[in-house]
Amino acid sequence: MPVTSQRPIEIRALAGARAFPPLVLVMFHFSEGHGYRNFWPLDLVAARGYLWVEFFFCLSGFILTHVYGARLAQIFTPSGYGAFLKARLTRLYPLHVFMLLMVLLTAIVTRALAQIGHYTSIFDLAYHTVITPWSLALNLLLVQAWNTLPSLTWNGVAWFVSVELALCLLFPLLLWLANGRVWRGPVLIAAGVAGLVALDLTAGARVGLDITFHNGVLRGLSDFTAGVGMAVLYRQMKPRDTLPDWAHSLIQLAVVGALFYAIYNTGWSHTRLDIWTVLPMMALVLALSFDRGIVAGALKMKLPQLLGGWSYAIYIGQTFMLLIIRVFEQRIYPPPMTPVLGTTFISLSWWLEPLLLVIACIGWGALIANVIEHPAAAWVKRRFNRSAGT
């Protein structure tokens, strides 16, 4: 691939595809901590929420290869590699640090109030968030998911960010492997899938592919490698794409159909059957990459595009809202059987609570994306360009 400064075209369908997986992840984390809703069409989707991480790692490998594929020579120079890492950390790190501070602030406030009120803070109850000085240091260094800790800590979902850093450090090697003939694409995809299968078979009972603080890097690397391979195929296929829109629609609908079939027909989550849900999830990346077809068209609409722009903030910010729910349940909610609006509080909140949580996570994600994530990225970019020009 020749070196060029031309920026690759944005694939808007993939930008929109980031919109809804974080919301499913929110429902997964809520349901695991507060119970499923006894409505199987929703419960089965929520119970597989953790597998959407596979989609994001695969998408990350695809997009980075799509963007940097023509800059292989540059990224193998100290300045090019440094610029790449700086761009990625600018995207990931400000919100990560902000959420660490939010968890720390929540711990300080709830413990202070608990001491005044003579009760136990949520951070000192069973299943509390693990917060220690050592784990804080590892979180600040973004190495908390490199098999360095025995559990999730602080903002637990940030294990994903830790793995992303590891993948960014390894990216030049994977980009080099992707540079060449088209056969490299299927080989990389096969290698990634083989890695996932191996993890799925060896993770142990009731784990499946819900692998985070331990071997999370291997999980992310497998997904990411498959995404890199898909980008190789896309690079070769896109200029030769003569399929009509209806053919792209059929392919996309078939992949979506296979995904829902796997979700609803492979039993409950956290089993070795997880791999059957993951395969169509990852296939969606390549199916949508041509930016044509009925599913791609739907994802290019305003709402998915807007939510896609907030997706990282919604994902990384959800822990704060989940902590607030625990505080409300402990100190604010009335007893479950309290009469409310002609019914009981437990009946009223059964569906209202998760619905309000999703809405709150969207609002919170939009706020921190627009106040912290995007301004921080713009500020660093201005500083970087100013330094490069001097």
Tens digit of each residue's pLDDT (9 = 90 or more) over 3-41: 444 567 889 999 999 999 999 999 999 999 888 989 999
Helix axes 78-117, 133-140, angle to 10 degrees: 150
Output the pLDDT for position 389.
53
Is the pLDDT at 132 greater than 60, yes or no?
A: yes
Output the pLDDT for position 5.
47
With beta carbons less than 8 A apart as the criterion, state whether 231 and 62 touch: yes
With beta carbons less than 8 A apart as the criterion, state whether 351 and 343 touch: no
The tokens describing 183, both together, are 């056969």
Phi/psi of residue 340, nearest 5 degrees: -140, 120
Cα distances (Å, whole numbers) of residue 318 to 28, 129, 200, 247, 357: 11, 14, 26, 38, 9
* pLDDT per position as a tens digit, 198-249: 999 988 778 889 999 999 999 999 999 999 999 999 999 998 889 999 999 9
Concatenated DSSP letters of 347-389: HHHHHHHHHHHHHHHHHHHHHHIIIIIHHHHHHHHHHHHHHHH
The model's pTM is: 0.91
As a whole number of angstroms, the distance between CA 198 and CA 222 comes to 10
Concatenated DSSP letters of 111-163: HHHHHHHTS--GGGSTTPPP--HHHHHHHHTT-TTSS-SSS--SSGGGHHHHH
With beta carbons less than 8 A apart as the criterion, state whether 95 and 313 touch: yes
Mean pLDDT, all residues of the chain: 91
